[in-house]
């Protein structure tokens, strides 16, 4: 990412606020676009991204009729045309419409449930309402799930995606929902044969969330989908791999077997690195595998990093998906040990690397990490 880049300023700035104000001014003669813009901009620069969404929603509430049934026609009239229906992926919409969902949730979750859901159905076709739907799921779980059952057959893939994305157990930035992990699965059963990657990616991410707590629930569902034959095999294979990515990193045996990798494969494995490497340089990783000719292998390596206070932490890195052509495979990788990484700080001292094949550690080596210089 370029130095000085600000996501919050790219998504929420004066031009975006002016655009939103113009839409409402065109929809309602009494809407004061200039005052709305100035009230938002008086506070917006000092706020973080989620706070900016809340601010815009709060200011919007000052400029619309107090009761949601009175404000709803203005909101609907202000919406631009739906996102391009000819696309099937990578069309998340414009973040400036996120505050509309927060506004609807704040005004409608208690007194105007059905109207609010109607509004979210429309707004999500301009920007995903995956965060705004969650307060409704917590307040009215049965009723919202029933509405989602209808949405699962909606003509807009943005509405269909909301069914999966809005019910995810671990939605980034999203309010936690009190649903049992299995409750949304009948909805995913209806959706898993969808023809758009935007929807199927969400389903795979949803399953990956569940897998962190109940791996077998996920794998049982995937097996049933493979047996049902409602999705193209290539797409379902992709969904399966994407859904199981967390379990694969953890070396889960059943997940490995589902993807065609035998955790118990008879194998000779070797890994080599230099004895010492400085922070800022690259660790030269070389490994060699020998086993049954043609056997599929999923090769990862695990770096065990020193931490301050004498603790250590491990991180898994992808290396190769391949077959043992002729019964052998040689791989190499230069792993840059960045001294200026933003995620964590490297600490000099003894370190360890492990070679994991089909989910099992097969070899290891040690090296000394020296200070940068």
Q: Which CATH number goes with the domain that contains 79?
A: 1.25.40.290
Do residues 297 and 241 both lie within one domain?
Answer: no
Domain end among 204, 236, 258 = 258
Residue 332: which of 284, 278, 269 has the closest Cα? 284
Query: Cα–Cα distance between 282 and 259 in angstroms, integer?
Result: 31
- Report the number of distinct structural domains present in the chain: 2
Whether 18 maps to a domain, the answer reads no
Domain end among 235, 258, 281 = 258
Residue 314 lies in domain: 267-370
CA distances from 62 to 56, 67, 243, 311, 369 (A): 10, 11, 43, 52, 58
Q: What is the pLDDT of residue 4?
A: 62
Do residues 227 and 273 both lie within one domain?
Answer: no
Q: What is the pLDDT of residue 173?
A: 86
Q: What is the CATH number of the domain that holds 283?
A: 2.60.40.10
**DSSP code for 126:** T
Q: What is the pLDDT along the chain (373 residues), one digit of tens a residue?
A: 344 678 899 999 999 999 999 999 999 999 999 999 999 999 999 999 999 999 999 999 999 999 999 999 999 999 999 998 888 887 889 999 999 999 999 999 999 999 999 999 999 999 999 999 999 999 999 999 999 999 999 999 999 999 999 999 999 888 999 999 999 999 999 999 999 999 999 999 999 999 999 999 999 999 999 999 999 999 999 999 999 999 999 999 999 999 999 999 999 999 999 999 999 999 999 999 999 999 999 999 999 998 877 788 899 999 999 999 999 999 999 999 987 766 678 999 999 999 999 999 999 999 999 998 7
Whether 117 maps to a domain, the answer reads yes
Q: What is the pLDDT of residue 236?
A: 98
Whether 128 maps to a domain, the answer reads yes
- Beta pairing partners, 110: none
Q: What is the pLDDT of residue 2?
A: 44
Do residues 294 and 356 both lie within one domain?
Answer: yes
Contacts of 245 (CB under 8 A, 6+ apart): 208
Instruction: Determine whether 189 is exposed, middle or buried from the number of CB atoms within 10 Å of its CB (0-12, 13-18, 19+).
Output: middle
Do residues 187 and 77 both lie within one domain?
Answer: yes
Do residues 183 and 323 both lie within one domain?
Answer: no
pTM: 0.89
Instruction: Cite the DSSP H helix spans in the chain.
Output: 7-11, 14-27, 33-41, 49-63, 68-78, 98-108, 113-123, 133-139, 141-151, 157-165, 185-191, 197-211, 215-228, 233-243, 245-249, 253-258
Query: With helix as H, strand as E and coil as C, how does 136-154 read?
Result: HHHHCHHHHHHHHHHHCCC
Do residues 204 and 308 both lie within one domain?
Answer: no
Do residues 249 and 273 both lie within one domain?
Answer: no
Whether 74 maps to a domain, the answer reads yes
């Amino acid at each position: 990412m370029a130095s000085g880049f600000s996501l919050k300023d790219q998504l929420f700035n004066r031009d975006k606020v002016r655009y939103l104000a113009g839409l409402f001014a065109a929809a309602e003669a009494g809407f004061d676009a200039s005052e709305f813009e100035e009230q938002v901009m008086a506070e917006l620069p000092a706020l973080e991204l989620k706070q900016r969404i809340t601010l815009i929603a709060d200011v919007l509430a000052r400029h619309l009729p107090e009761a949601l049934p009175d404000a709803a026609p203005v909101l609907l009239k202000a919406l631009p045309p739906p996102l391009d229906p000819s696309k099937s992926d990578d069309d998340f919409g414009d973040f400036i419409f996120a505050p509309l969902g927060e506004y609807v949730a704040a005004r409608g979750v208690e007194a105007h449930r059905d109207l609010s859901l109607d509004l979210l159905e429309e707004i999500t076709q301009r920007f995903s309402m995956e965060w705004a739907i969650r307060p409704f799921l917590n307040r009215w779980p049965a009723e919202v799930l029933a509405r989602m059952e209808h949405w699962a057959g909606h003509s807009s893939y943005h509405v269909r995606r909301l069914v999966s994305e809005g019910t995810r157990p671990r939605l980034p930035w999203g309010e936690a929902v009190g649903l049992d992990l299995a409750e949304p699965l009948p909805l995913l059963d209806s959706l898993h044969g969808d023809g758009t990657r935007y929807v199927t990616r969400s389903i795979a991410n949803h399953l990956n969330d569940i897998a962190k707590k109940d791996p077998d629930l996920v794998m049982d569902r995937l097996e049933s989908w493979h047996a049902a034959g409602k999705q193209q095999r290539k797409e379902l294979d992709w969904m399966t791999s994407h859904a199981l990515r967390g379990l694969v990193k953890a070396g889960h045996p059943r997940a490995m077997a589902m993807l065609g990798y035998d955790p118990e494969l008879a194998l000779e494995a070797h890994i080599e690195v230099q004895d010492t490497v400085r922070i800022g340089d690259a660790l030269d990783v070389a490994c060699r595998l020998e086993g049954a000719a043609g056997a599929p292998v999923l090769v990862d390596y695990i770096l065990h990093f020193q931490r301050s206070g004498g603790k250590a932490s491990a991180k898994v890195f992808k290396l190769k998906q391949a077959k043992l052509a002729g019964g052998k495979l040689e791989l190499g990788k230069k792993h840059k040990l960045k001294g200026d990484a933003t995620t964590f700080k490297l600490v000099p001292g003894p370190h360890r690397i492990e070679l994991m094949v089909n989910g099992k550690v097969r070899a290891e080596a040690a090296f000394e990490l020296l200070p940068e210089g």
